[in-house]
Protein backbone atom coordinates (compact mmCIF):
# COMPACT_ATOMS: atom_id res chain seq x y z
CA UNK A 1 0.00 0.00 0.00
CA UNK A 2 1.25 3.44 -0.84
CA UNK A 3 -0.10 6.95 -0.60
CA UNK A 4 -3.79 6.93 -1.13
CA UNK A 5 -5.87 9.88 -1.92
CA UNK A 6 -9.36 10.10 -0.68
CA UNK A 7 -12.01 12.69 -1.33
CA UNK A 8 -14.81 11.98 1.02
CA UNK A 9 -18.50 12.75 0.82
CA UNK A 10 -18.04 15.11 -2.04
CA UNK A 11 -21.32 16.76 -2.91
CA UNK A 12 -19.97 17.98 -6.19
CA UNK A 13 -21.26 16.40 -9.36
CA UNK A 14 -18.77 15.52 -12.07
CA UNK A 15 -19.93 18.58 -13.96
CA UNK A 16 -19.24 20.83 -11.02
CA UNK A 17 -15.86 19.17 -10.55
CA UNK A 18 -15.00 20.02 -14.14
CA UNK A 19 -15.65 23.66 -13.33
CA UNK A 20 -13.13 23.67 -10.52
CA UNK A 21 -9.91 25.24 -11.61
CA UNK A 22 -7.09 22.84 -12.27
CA UNK A 23 -4.93 24.18 -9.46
CA UNK A 24 -7.48 23.38 -6.82
CA UNK A 25 -8.01 19.91 -8.18
CA UNK A 26 -4.26 19.36 -8.34
CA UNK A 27 -3.90 20.42 -4.74
CA UNK A 28 -6.63 17.99 -3.70
CA UNK A 29 -4.76 15.19 -5.43
CA UNK A 30 -1.44 16.23 -3.95
CA UNK A 31 -2.74 16.40 -0.41
CA UNK A 32 -4.38 13.12 0.55
CA UNK A 33 -6.53 13.11 3.67
CA UNK A 34 -4.51 10.26 5.11
CA UNK A 35 -1.42 8.16 4.60
CA UNK A 36 -0.87 4.44 5.08
CA UNK A 37 2.64 3.04 5.25
CA UNK A 38 3.67 -0.57 5.83
CA UNK A 39 6.73 -0.85 8.10
CA UNK A 40 7.74 -4.51 8.37
CA UNK A 41 5.95 -7.86 7.96
CA UNK A 42 2.23 -7.12 8.26
CA UNK A 43 2.56 -4.10 10.51
CA UNK A 44 1.82 -0.59 9.29
CA UNK A 45 0.79 2.90 10.31
CA UNK A 46 -2.09 5.21 9.42
CA UNK A 47 -1.68 8.99 9.79
CA UNK A 48 -4.27 11.67 9.29
CA UNK A 49 -5.09 13.85 12.28
CA UNK A 50 -4.16 12.96 15.86
CA UNK A 51 -1.89 10.28 17.30
CA UNK A 52 -0.50 7.74 14.83
CA UNK A 53 -2.56 4.55 14.38
CA UNK A 54 -0.58 1.30 14.26
CA UNK A 55 -2.05 -1.91 12.83
CA UNK A 56 -1.34 -5.57 12.19
CA UNK A 57 -2.93 -7.36 9.26
CA UNK A 58 -3.12 -10.93 10.52
CA UNK A 59 -4.91 -13.88 9.00
CA UNK A 60 -6.61 -14.18 12.37
CA UNK A 61 -7.91 -10.62 12.20
CA UNK A 62 -6.77 -7.01 12.25
CA UNK A 63 -5.18 -5.55 15.37
CA UNK A 64 -5.45 -1.78 15.82
CA UNK A 65 -3.48 0.50 18.13
CA UNK A 66 -5.17 3.86 18.79
CA UNK A 67 -7.99 5.38 16.78
CA UNK A 68 -7.44 9.15 16.29
CA UNK A 69 -10.86 10.92 16.10
CA UNK A 70 -14.18 9.38 14.95
CA UNK A 71 -13.93 10.80 11.41
CA UNK A 72 -10.36 9.55 10.94
CA UNK A 73 -11.22 6.17 12.48
CA UNK A 74 -13.98 5.94 9.85
CA UNK A 75 -11.45 6.52 7.05
CA UNK A 76 -9.16 3.88 8.55
CA UNK A 77 -11.98 1.33 8.87
CA UNK A 78 -13.01 1.91 5.24
CA UNK A 79 -9.43 1.17 4.12
CA UNK A 80 -9.23 -1.96 6.27
CA UNK A 81 -12.50 -3.25 4.81
CA UNK A 82 -10.67 -3.52 1.49
CA UNK A 83 -8.43 -6.20 2.99
CA UNK A 84 -9.05 -9.81 2.15
CA UNK A 85 -9.61 -10.65 5.81
CA UNK A 86 -11.35 -7.61 7.10
CA UNK A 87 -12.38 -8.73 10.59
CA UNK A 88 -11.10 -6.71 13.52
CA UNK A 89 -9.62 -8.85 16.26
CA UNK A 90 -8.31 -6.47 18.87
CA UNK A 91 -8.09 -2.74 19.65
CA UNK A 92 -5.45 -1.39 22.03
CA UNK A 93 -5.18 2.19 23.31
CA UNK A 94 -1.71 3.51 24.21
CA UNK A 95 -3.44 6.01 26.58
CA UNK A 96 -6.73 7.87 27.00
CA UNK A 97 -6.22 11.21 25.18
CA UNK A 98 -8.94 12.07 22.69
CA UNK A 99 -6.57 12.16 19.70
CA UNK A 100 -5.84 8.44 20.42
CA UNK A 101 -9.11 7.08 21.80
CA UNK A 102 -12.09 9.20 20.73
CA UNK A 103 -12.17 7.25 17.43
CA UNK A 104 -12.81 4.06 19.45
CA UNK A 105 -16.54 4.67 19.09
CA UNK A 106 -16.28 4.00 15.33
CA UNK A 107 -15.28 0.40 16.22
CA UNK A 108 -18.38 -0.24 18.33
CA UNK A 109 -19.77 -3.61 17.27
CA UNK A 110 -16.78 -4.20 14.97
CA UNK A 111 -14.11 -5.28 17.45
CA UNK A 112 -14.60 -7.93 20.14
CA UNK A 113 -11.95 -6.70 22.58
CA UNK A 114 -10.55 -3.31 23.63
CA UNK A 115 -7.44 -3.26 25.83
CA UNK A 116 -5.69 -0.47 27.76
CA UNK A 117 -3.84 0.12 31.01
CA UNK A 118 -6.16 0.40 34.04
CA UNK A 119 -5.13 4.05 34.56
CA UNK A 120 -5.89 4.83 30.92
CA UNK A 121 -9.45 3.52 31.38
CA UNK A 122 -9.87 5.49 34.62
CA UNK A 123 -8.62 8.67 32.91
CA UNK A 124 -10.88 8.15 29.91
CA UNK A 125 -13.91 7.68 32.18
CA UNK A 126 -13.07 10.71 34.33
CA UNK A 127 -12.53 13.05 31.35
CA UNK A 128 -15.69 11.79 29.58
CA UNK A 129 -17.72 12.47 32.75
CA UNK A 130 -16.24 15.97 33.08
CA UNK A 131 -16.94 16.78 29.43
CA UNK A 132 -20.27 14.96 29.34
CA UNK A 133 -19.13 12.82 26.41
CA UNK A 134 -19.74 9.42 27.99
CA UNK A 135 -22.12 8.41 25.21
CA UNK A 136 -19.32 9.03 22.66
CA UNK A 137 -16.86 6.58 24.24
CA UNK A 138 -16.00 2.98 23.56
CA UNK A 139 -14.14 2.03 26.73
CA UNK A 140 -11.56 -0.74 27.12
CA UNK A 141 -13.20 -3.93 28.42
CA UNK A 142 -9.84 -5.50 29.31
CA UNK A 143 -7.22 -3.80 31.48
CA UNK A 144 -3.86 -4.67 33.02
CA UNK A 145 -1.43 -3.05 35.42
CA UNK A 146 2.08 -4.26 34.45
CA UNK A 147 2.05 -6.32 31.31
CA UNK A 148 -0.37 -8.05 28.95
CA UNK A 149 0.16 -10.57 26.15
CA UNK A 150 -1.74 -12.13 23.31
CA UNK A 151 -0.75 -14.21 20.32
CA UNK A 152 -2.51 -13.28 17.07
CA UNK A 153 -1.66 -15.65 14.24
CA UNK A 154 2.13 -15.63 13.83
CA UNK A 155 2.56 -12.42 15.78
CA UNK A 156 2.98 -12.09 19.54
CA UNK A 157 1.78 -8.88 21.11
CA UNK A 158 3.21 -7.78 24.43
CA UNK A 159 2.19 -4.61 26.23
CA UNK A 160 4.65 -2.98 28.63
CA UNK A 161 3.85 -0.44 31.34
CA UNK A 162 6.85 1.38 32.82
CA UNK A 163 5.09 3.92 35.05
CA UNK A 164 3.98 7.55 34.73
CA UNK A 165 5.33 9.76 31.96
CA UNK A 166 3.13 11.73 29.56
CA UNK A 167 0.17 10.56 31.74
CA UNK A 168 0.01 7.81 34.38
CA UNK A 169 -1.53 5.37 31.90
CA UNK A 170 0.78 5.16 28.86
CA UNK A 171 1.86 1.76 27.65
CA UNK A 172 4.12 0.54 24.86
CA UNK A 173 2.73 -2.10 22.52
CA UNK A 174 5.30 -4.45 21.04
CA UNK A 175 4.75 -6.67 18.00
CA UNK A 176 7.51 -9.04 19.05
CA UNK A 177 7.88 -10.99 15.82
CA UNK A 178 8.04 -7.86 13.62
CA UNK A 179 9.95 -6.07 16.41
CA UNK A 180 7.90 -2.92 16.14
CA UNK A 181 6.95 -0.97 19.27
CA UNK A 182 4.20 1.67 19.38
CA UNK A 183 5.13 4.27 22.00
CA UNK A 184 2.05 6.48 21.74
CA UNK A 185 2.77 9.87 23.31
CA UNK A 186 5.71 8.63 25.37
CA UNK A 187 7.75 10.08 22.55
CA UNK A 188 7.12 13.38 20.82
CA UNK A 189 9.70 13.40 18.05
CA UNK A 190 11.12 16.90 17.70
CA UNK A 191 8.10 18.63 19.31
CA UNK A 192 7.73 19.97 22.85
CA UNK A 193 5.54 17.37 24.53
CA UNK A 194 2.18 17.80 26.18
CA UNK A 195 2.60 16.82 29.85
CA UNK A 196 -0.78 15.95 31.33
CA UNK A 197 -0.42 16.75 35.04
CA UNK A 198 -4.20 16.37 35.51
CA UNK A 199 -3.76 12.72 34.46
CA UNK A 200 -0.80 11.94 36.71
CA UNK A 201 2.07 12.81 34.34
CA UNK A 202 5.63 12.91 35.69
CA UNK A 203 8.53 14.53 33.84
CA UNK A 204 11.03 13.00 36.27
CA UNK A 205 9.69 9.47 35.93
CA UNK A 206 9.30 9.91 32.17
CA UNK A 207 13.12 9.76 32.03
CA UNK A 208 13.00 6.35 33.79
CA UNK A 209 10.31 5.18 31.37
CA UNK A 210 12.52 6.08 28.40
CA UNK A 211 15.50 4.35 30.05
CA UNK A 212 13.49 1.16 30.55
CA UNK A 213 12.32 1.37 26.95
CA UNK A 214 15.88 1.73 25.67
CA UNK A 215 16.98 -1.34 27.66
CA UNK A 216 13.91 -3.45 26.82
CA UNK A 217 14.18 -3.08 23.04
CA UNK A 218 17.14 -3.33 20.66
CA UNK A 219 18.78 -1.63 17.68
CA UNK A 220 16.52 -3.52 15.28
CA UNK A 221 13.31 -2.25 16.90
CA UNK A 222 11.24 0.15 14.84
CA UNK A 223 9.44 2.59 17.14
CA UNK A 224 6.16 4.28 16.22
CA UNK A 225 5.67 7.72 17.79
CA UNK A 226 2.39 9.49 18.57
CA UNK A 227 3.51 12.80 17.06
CA UNK A 228 6.48 14.19 15.13
CA UNK A 229 7.51 17.62 13.84
CA UNK A 230 8.42 16.01 10.51
CA UNK A 231 5.74 13.53 9.30
CA UNK A 232 8.53 11.33 7.91
CA UNK A 233 9.93 10.95 11.45
CA UNK A 234 6.80 9.44 12.93
CA UNK A 235 8.85 6.23 13.25
CA UNK A 236 12.41 5.91 14.48
CA UNK A 237 14.94 3.98 16.53
CA UNK A 238 16.66 3.93 19.92
CA UNK A 239 18.73 6.99 18.98
CA UNK A 240 15.52 9.05 18.89
CA UNK A 241 14.72 7.80 22.39
CA UNK A 242 18.13 8.93 23.63
CA UNK A 243 17.57 12.37 22.10
CA UNK A 244 14.21 12.65 23.88
CA UNK A 245 15.67 11.46 27.19
CA UNK A 246 18.34 14.18 26.91
CA UNK A 247 15.57 16.67 26.15
CA UNK A 248 13.65 15.78 29.33
CA UNK A 249 16.83 15.97 31.42
CA UNK A 250 17.77 19.37 29.99
CA UNK A 251 14.30 20.83 30.64
CA UNK A 252 14.30 19.63 34.26
CA UNK A 253 17.88 20.81 34.89
CA UNK A 254 17.13 24.25 33.44
CA UNK A 255 13.90 24.77 35.35
CA UNK A 256 15.51 23.47 38.56
CA UNK A 257 18.28 26.09 38.20
CA UNK A 258 15.75 28.84 37.51
CA UNK A 259 13.73 27.93 40.61
CA UNK A 260 16.91 27.94 42.73
CA UNK A 261 17.70 31.37 41.32
CA UNK A 262 14.33 32.59 42.62
CA UNK A 263 12.50 32.87 39.28
CA UNK A 264 8.71 32.85 39.33
CA UNK A 265 6.68 30.52 37.10
CA UNK A 266 5.69 33.49 34.92
CA UNK A 267 9.35 34.36 34.38
CA UNK A 268 10.28 30.78 33.53
CA UNK A 269 7.40 30.54 31.04
CA UNK A 270 8.90 33.46 29.10
CA UNK A 271 11.90 31.29 28.15
CA UNK A 272 12.24 30.86 24.39
CA UNK A 273 15.36 28.70 24.27
CA UNK A 274 16.44 26.05 26.80
CA UNK A 275 20.24 25.70 27.09
CA UNK A 276 21.38 22.59 25.23
CA UNK A 277 18.10 22.43 23.31
CA UNK A 278 18.71 25.26 20.86
CA UNK A 279 17.52 23.10 17.97
CA UNK A 280 13.99 22.88 19.43
CA UNK A 281 11.58 25.50 18.15
CA UNK A 282 9.84 27.71 20.72
CA UNK A 283 6.38 26.54 19.63
CA UNK A 284 4.77 24.79 22.62
CA UNK A 285 7.77 25.33 24.92
CA UNK A 286 5.51 26.50 27.77
CA UNK A 287 3.98 23.01 28.11
CA UNK A 288 7.12 21.27 29.45
CA UNK A 289 8.34 24.43 31.24
CA UNK A 290 5.10 24.81 33.19
CA UNK A 291 4.91 21.10 34.02
CA UNK A 292 8.55 21.01 35.14
CA UNK A 293 8.04 24.11 37.28
CA UNK A 294 5.01 22.61 39.03
CA UNK A 295 6.71 19.27 39.47
CA UNK A 296 9.91 20.67 40.98
CA UNK A 297 8.26 23.34 43.12
CA UNK A 298 5.55 21.09 44.59
CA UNK A 299 7.46 17.81 44.55
CA UNK A 300 4.71 16.03 42.59
- Of 99 and 155, the one with the shorter C-beta distance to Zn ion is 99
Q: Are strands 88-92 and 61-65 parallel, antiparallel or unpaired?
A: parallel
Kindly state the smallest distance separating residue 50's Cβ from Zn ion, in Å.
Answer: 6
Which region, judged by CB under 5 A, interacts with Zn ion, from 64-72, 177-185, 245-253, 285-293?
Answer: 177-185
226 interacts with Zn ion by CB under 5 A? yes
* Number of other CB atoms surrounding residue 222 within 10 Å: 18
155 interacts with Zn ion by CB under 5 A? no
Which region, judged by CB under 5 A, interacts with Zn ion, from 57-65, 113-121, 219-227, 275-283?
Answer: 219-227
66 interacts with Zn ion by CB under 5 A? no
Q: Are the C-beta atoms of residues 47 and 231 closer than 8 Å to each other?
A: yes
Q: Are the C-beta atoms of residues 179 and 132 closer than 8 Å to each other?
A: no
97 interacts with Zn ion by CB under 5 A? yes
- Of 228 and 251, the one with the shorter C-beta distance to Zn ion is 228
Kindly state the smallest distance separating residue 51's Cβ from Zn ion, in Å.
Answer: 4
288 interacts with Zn ion by CB under 5 A? no
Nearest to 98 by CA among 148, 46, 49, 31: 49
96 interacts with Zn ion by CB under 5 A? no
Nearest to 92 by CA among 81, 83, 84, 101: 101
48 interacts with Zn ion by CB under 5 A? no
Q: If binding means CB under 5 A, how many residues of this protein chain bind Zn ion?
A: 5
Kindly state the smallest distance separating residue 28's Cβ from Zn ion, in Å.
Answer: 27
Give the residue, chosen from 51, 61, 140, 165, that forms a contact with Zn ion under the rule CB under 5 A.
Answer: 51
Give the residue, chosen from 42, 48, 66, 185, that forms a contact with Zn ion under the rule CB under 5 A.
Answer: 185
- Of 58 and 167, the one with the shorter C-beta distance to Zn ion is 167
Which region, judged by CB under 5 A, interacts with Zn ion, from 57-65, 91-99, 123-131, 255-263?
Answer: 91-99
> Rule CB under 5 A: which residues touch Zn ion?
51, 97, 99, 185, 226
Amino acid sequence: MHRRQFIRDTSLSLGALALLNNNLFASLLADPAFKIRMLRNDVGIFSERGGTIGFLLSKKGIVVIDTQFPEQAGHFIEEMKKQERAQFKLLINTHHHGDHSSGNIAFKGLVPKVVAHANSLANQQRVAKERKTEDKQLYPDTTFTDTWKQKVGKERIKIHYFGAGHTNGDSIIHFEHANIAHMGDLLFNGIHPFVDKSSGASMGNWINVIDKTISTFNDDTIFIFGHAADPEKITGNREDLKVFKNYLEKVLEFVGREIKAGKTKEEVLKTTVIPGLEAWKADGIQRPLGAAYDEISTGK
